[in-house]
Amino acid sequence: MKFDSIIIGGGVAGLSCAIRCAEAGLKTAVIAAGQSALHFSSGSVDVLSRLPNGEAVNAPFPAFEELKNQCPSHPYSKLGELQCREAINWYQDMMEHCGVYLTAQADEQNHYRVTPMGTFRSTWLSQQTVHQFPHHQLAEGLAEIALVTVDGFRDFQPQLAADNLSKLQAFAGVKIKTAAVELPDFENMQRNPCEFRSIDISRVLRDETKLHAFAKSMIQQVGKADLVVLPAIFGNGDGAATIKLLEGLTGFKICELPTMPPSLLGIRLEEAMKSHYKRLGGLLLSGDEVLKGEFNNGCLDKIFTRNHEDIPLVADSFLLASGSFFSKGLSAQRHAVCEPIFGLDMADSTHRDHWYQPQFFSPQSHPFMKMGVECNKQLNPTLNQQVIKNLYCAGAILAHYDPVQEGSGSGVAISTGYYVAQQMITAHQHKHEHVTETQAKQERTIA
């Protein structure tokens, strides 16, 4: 099977690249082995919350210059501020077209989102159902907050979150209360305590009759509040619409927060992207994985997958966006870390004893988090020191950045995926122009 572009990996980086390619009319295929890390994500888009030296960042894009000084090999340093801005703006517009509204602060500062622990994480874009707490005044406009869970739901403990919030100086004058709302048909749903998850609740609340009963119970349990914080328990595709309906029924302003996996906020992004990609005519090969590739003269000619066995998949351009250790895009052996599909060259790694900090919750980044494939400025990797001209890398497989400590995971994934797509589109256009010109010359010769 022949394609213009093949994307290996169905996470944020892979889908961003695939969608952009499909928008430009490229015949594109995505090979996704299983669930992406979006099922474990917050559903917000982090750009940059902390520099490599640990310094907090309030305004991400102006900090790119200092980031380049501290880490010239960082993916953002290779792309530059303008490329990254273009990519994030494109992603925001594309998701809005899909019905998922991601917004930032008007002053181009990061904002905080609340976590299930009652702590705060800095981020750049959040979904319309997530309350944005400004950096300069966390409790702005809030006199009373209600942290609400579903009775019997174990993945969010509101009292723990309330205790942590109450310790913050910014919430000294804010009344914080908790409540547990009864879910209709709870007794019939619960097979055992370990199986009652957010996705189970979302199926129940799709029924408007049960949503009305849930709203009535909320009003009784909460009473009055400026903001009601609920775990993300509303459907992935129609979750935002369900919350809007619930706000109308209760009169509350409702905020979602991500819970233990599966994270419906993250799944909401994934399903919106996959649906949009398919509408554009893209092919999604789910449940398949790439086993190996064949190279010739510094190019990747073809790949072989588990499901297609000896039938090769051929493309002009390839993207490897298979993720880091979590997604098996990187593999840690006893004394080395490798890229398991093609055996691409890795960034220099130290002895195993220096892969991590002595303390797990160290203020310093764990070195293994910055391990990955070494790439040039065009994000082409090398194999045995030879640049593979039609293969690119994007997202968590890239070296020289720590997505967790820096708060840059989604931003790097979107930016690098989009950047690679633009190169693939340009190469496709040049090839088409060359073919057209050659055909024209042949026709003139015949004439």
Annotate 1-56 with three-state secondary structure: CEEEEEEECCCHHHHHHHHHHHHCCCCEEEEECCCCHHHHCCCCECCCCECCCCCE
Q: What is the pTM of this model?
A: 0.91
pLDDT at 192 over 60: no
pLDDT of residue 260: 77
Band (pLDDT 50/70/90 cuts) for residue 236 is low
pLDDT of residue 334: 79
Average pLDDT score over residue span 124-129: 95
Q: Is 170 exposed, middle or buried (0-12, 13-18, 19+ CB in 10 A)?
A: middle
Question: In 3D, which of 176, 134, 180 has the Cα closest to residue 157?
Answer: 180
Q: Which two tokens stand for residue 402?
A: 């720590």
CA atoms of 420 and 430, how far apart (whole Å): 15
pLDDT tens, 250-261?
999 999 998 877
Question: In 3D, which of 43, 4, 103, 69 has the Cα closest to residue 313?
Answer: 4
pLDDT of residue 315: 97
SS3 for 314?
A: strand
SS3 for 180?
A: strand
pLDDT at 78 over 60: yes
pLDDT at 189 over 80: no
Question: In 3D, which of 27, 30, 36, 24 has the Cα closest to residue 7?
Answer: 30
